[in-house]
Structure 1
Amino acid sequence: MLYLIITTVIWSLSFSLIGNTLSPDINSWSLAFSRSAIACILFLPWINFKIPISYILKITFIGVLQIGVMYMLYLSAFRHTSVEKILLFTVTTPFYVTMIFQILNKEIRLFAYFTILLSILGGLVIRMTDFDDRDFIGLILVQLANVCFASGQVLYKRIKADSKISTNVYTDFSFFFIGASLVTFIGLIISPSGYTYPKSISQWLLVFWLGGAASGVGYYFWNYGATKVRVETLATMNNLVIPLGLLIEILLFSGSYDFKTFIIGTAIIISSIATSLRYGKI
């Protein structure tokens, strides 16, 4: 649980930094590849090719899906809609986590959907707003990104639960980020925009922070933490980033907000997490 909380705090900073500081100057493929490559370098010292190739391919595929494809979709959304709305659009991730987990396990647990609905309700209370055609494109991109992100964390949780192979977790993430780096590099090569460089020292520092902390440490903590909690808790924890991310956006960039709805929505999300911890069985 602690791993998930720490990651949530780290990731809550990312939305505003990307949307307000980096997206206007750096295209999505460039930022996705930079983040993946920096994180990959961080874990390369633990790479180990002595483990079965089938296991390596599974972990690499998760990196391709959860990071590579997800980044392409998620970062592209910043070109079409605002930080606040992207935070709102991520509200469905808990549903995808639960649905994918139950499909893979061929079972239906209605309790899980109860906690998910609570979490989604909390997110909607915090940030419900009108949107136009450009926002709709952002919505579609974020939903596809949510599916990729949800699939990755569920697949990693399942592989670690079912696998009899004992590996260093750092080794897992060396292959995880190799997969992410490969797909983002291919995307960068075929992108008509090419690689766009950060334009200032502050932007370079932010890119390194996003690659090392938000991507490297963040995904390691999140996926490792996912193996330690019930799926209901994992699902609902995905929405805790909404109030934290929005709070940072308000304090650093927006300036004003209805804190009554913010507090109510946050309380609902926290109650959904508490309920999953108390009564969840998966």
Structure 2
Amino acid sequence: MPLLWIITLLWAFSFSLIGAYLSGQVDDYVAVTSRMLLALLIFVPFFRAVPWRQASMMMATGAIEIGMTYLFLYQSYHYLTVPELLLFTIFTPLYVSLFADVLARRWPKRLWAPALLAVAGAAVIRWTELSDGYWKGFMLIQAANACFAFGQVWYRHQSRSNPLPHRSRFFWFFLGAAVMSAGAMLLWADWTKLPATPLQWGVLLWLGIITSGLGYLGWSYGSTQVNAQQLAVMNNMLIPAGILVNVMFWHGHLQDWPRLLLGCIFMVLALWLCRKQPSKTA
């Protein structure tokens, strides 16, 4: 659990960095592919040859959890404000719970209670007035949420029978994500919107090496050390963390601190409800 908290704090910077320095300035497909290639470079020294079926499974996980997630996420910035985007990520715990149930071949029972509490807490914190014509953005961010949730649960599911160290798996993981995003870039990129300033390159380096490379390695390893309920709840801890980072470092304005506190109480209660579940459950 401590590792998931550390990665949550690390990821809290990402939404504001993308919204402030990349969205609308650097082509989405170029930005995503750059991040995936930079992350892949970290894991080249840990490459291990594996049977093609195992390699394709790990590549498919990366292509879905990171490649497709980011392609949908970056597109959603064109239709949603950052507060709206954060609001619509509140459904991720429900997707985590759903996919955990599906892969475990069980009927949902207690698994949904903490996830629903986490969604309620995030809704209390982030509910805002919605802009006109937000439905396309809503569908894009839900697609991103579903891809991210499925990839997390599938990675945990595979970890039971995968003897490779996590750092070696992530070579194949990011190779799949890079192939997915590069294919989209070659088809749809606007080549007039390339990174042009040292700041944009610096943000991409941070997002690629630290946030994506080390961040996803830590999150995926951490996800194998907790139960599915805890993982579902931790997916929404990014919302209060993102707000605090925005207020502290980007001088964002938060009028309703009581709502933030109440939402956090919901989430802490959700974590408390799932504290006794064994970490190896699906």
Equivalent runs, 1:83-122 vs 2, <5 Å: 83-122=82-121
Equivalent runs, 1:204-215 vs 2, <5 Å: 204-215=201-212
Q: Could you list the runs of 5+ residues in structure 2 that have no partner in the other structure?
A: none
Q: How far off its partner does 1:57 sit?
A: 0.8
1:33 aligns with 2:30: no
Equivalent runs, 1:171-190 vs 2, <5 Å: 171-190=168-187
Equivalent runs, 1:15-164 vs 2, <5 Å: 15-49=15-49, 51-161=50-160, 163=161
1:223 aligns with 2:225: no
1:75 partner amino acid: Y
Could you give the per-residue CA deviations for residues 183-202 of structure 1, whole angstroms, max 9, x where no partner exists? Answer: 11110000151373223212
- Distance in 2, Cα, partners of 1:42 & 1:93: 28
Q: How far off its partner does 1:23 sit?
A: 0.7
Structure whose residues are more often helix by fraction = 1
- Distance in 2, Cα, partners of 1:201 & 1:104: 44
- Distance in 1, Cα, partners of 2:269 & 2:278: 13
1:18 partner amino acid: I
Q: How far off its partner does 1:253 sit?
A: 4.2
Moved more, 189-198 or 233-242: 189-198
Instruction: Determine if contact 1:12/1:241 at 8 Å carries over to the other structure.
Output: yes
- Distance in 1, Cα, partners of 2:192 & 2:214: 25
Identity over aligned pairs, percent: 30
Instruction: Determine if contact 1:30/1:195 at 8 Å carries over to the other structure.
Output: no
Q: Could you list the runs of 5+ residues in structure 1 that have no partner in the other structure?
A: none
- Distance in 2, Cα, partners of 1:275 & 1:174: 36
Q: Which position in structure 2 is the counterpart of 1:243?
A: 240
TM-score by length of 1: 0.95
1:263 aligns with 2:261: yes
Count residues with an aligned counterpart. 279
2:275 partner amino acid: L
- Distance in 1, Cα, partners of 2:189 & 2:17: 25
Match of 1:254, SS state, is coil
